[in-house]
Amino acid sequence: MYFPDNLSLLDYSLNLAKKDVLFLEFGVYSGKIVKFISSKIDCTVYGFDSLKDYLKIGEMVLKNVVSK
């Protein structure tokens, strides 16, 4: 299968993805990919671009694990 650009591949992948999962993007630069993903799915997308943000992910994961 051929994809002319990265967004075409991402669009195809999002159509195959489960929709009831956590969507995360690491290394956000301009927000282009986060905006693209959120325009294609009906759930929250989290974008992280710093070590401080990565620590927030750990806290979210721990809260989720502990609460189950």
- How high is the pLDDT of residue 51? 63
Whether 49 contacts 28, CB under 8 Å: yes
Write out pLDDT tens, residues 30-46. 888 989 999 998 888 88
Alpha helices in the chain (DSSP H): 6-16, 32-40, 51-67
pLDDT beyond 70 at 66: no
Element holding 13 (H helix, E strand): helix 6-16
Q: CA–CA separation, 28 vs 50, rounded Å?
A: 9
Q: CA–CA separation, 37 vs 51, rounded Å?
A: 22
Single-letter residue type at 18: K
